[in-house]
Chains A and B, each alone.
Chain A
Amino acid sequence: MSAIVKIPTSLRGLTGGSSEVEVPAGPLDEVITSLTDTYPDLGERLLDDAGNLRRFVNVFVADDDIRFLDGLETAVSSGQVVTILPAVAGG
């Protein structure tokens, strides 16, 4: 009963180099809590002091933007993929 979180290159330094992390399925905020319990430095990169997702990071559940689903309450089912996508500007 777990979901897969895809970690972008820019944040892999905070996950010991892991590109994918398996976490228990559930509401997205719990998925993120599981993630940041394991990798505490990731928390401040994803969430602001009020616990909201930062404006330069997008999160997708099953390839859909959670801002247009139920935000941090979006349900993440077993086997679903959570994609974290920060803005990058390189060219």
Chain B
Amino acid sequence: MRKPFTTGDLAVAAGVLLVSVGQLLWQRESAVSKVTSATIQEQNARIHRTLPAAAGTLTVSAADGLGDLRIELDGSRARVLSAPCRQQICIRTGWLERAGEVAVCVPSHVVLRLHGEGADAWLDGVTR
């Protein structure tokens, strides 16, 4: 067994960090456009709201009859206010403020995402 922090170890860690920092910078670059809308993807539907016009709170139902999620739209930001899941990761993700950012509640089957104009289109271009 080698002692910690061999050249190989550093190469693995540096490789992973480089990839993540690279993607992070690329995402920042791509998300310079201002936030124009938010989508909430439920199990069977996709709700689209224009920002900042749609400011306010909206309620969506979680999958499997878990309960309801409340989502707050405020100016050009959005967040999950309450959710029926156990770990509450979606709530603790906090405010989404840049185009392309997502908050996910896996047990509820709900994804909240911010969109901008043009520049972050690559995000949906990949999946549609």
- Asked if chains A and B come from one complex, the reply is no
